[in-house]
Amino acid sequence: FLQPKATSTKTAGKALHKFYVDYSVPVNDNVFDPAAFEKFLHDRIKVDGKPGQLGDSIQISKEANKLVLTSQIPFSKRYLKASAIYLTKKHLKKNSFENFLRVVATSKDTYSLRYFKVDQNEADDEE
């Protein structure tokens, strides 16, 4: 009585998950090295429990001042999202940026590197 549902082939060539890390603010100030950050992520994201062996399953690419993480395989969205945040924070700590840069979620799939805001009142008190 029930007809089988037609399976969609539209998702076969499409990216399943895409995340962006926007590092335009620190790059414009010549504080942040995007090439080193891209290599850091490439070496540390794990696929099948093995770091650095992304193959065709995950691509890391640059678009202007953004890094794009794209998963082509059924990959845990939570892991890819957590990797983007966790590994970005780890890279900041490794390069001693953690004291003045932070990771902020600007939208559902975009993360941005921003400076910590310093109160002007504290600077006035010191003078």
**pLDDT, tens only, 4-54:** 555 544 445 554 788 899 999 999 999 889 999 999 988 988 888 888 888
Task: Provide the β-strand partners of residue 107.
Answer: 110
**Per-residue confidence (pLDDT) for residue 9, from 0 to 100:** 46
**pLDDT, tens only, 64-116:** 899 998 888 776 667 767 777 888 889 989 988 888 898 888 998 889 999 98
> Could you name the CATH architecture of 17-116?
2-Layer Sandwich (3.30)
- Determine the residue type at 91: H
Of the pLDDT bands very low, low, confident and very high (cuts 50, 70, 90), residue 56 is confident
Cα gap 105→85, rounded to integer Å: 9
Give residue limits of the domains in the chain: 17-116
CA distances from 72 to 80, 86, 107 (A): 12, 21, 21
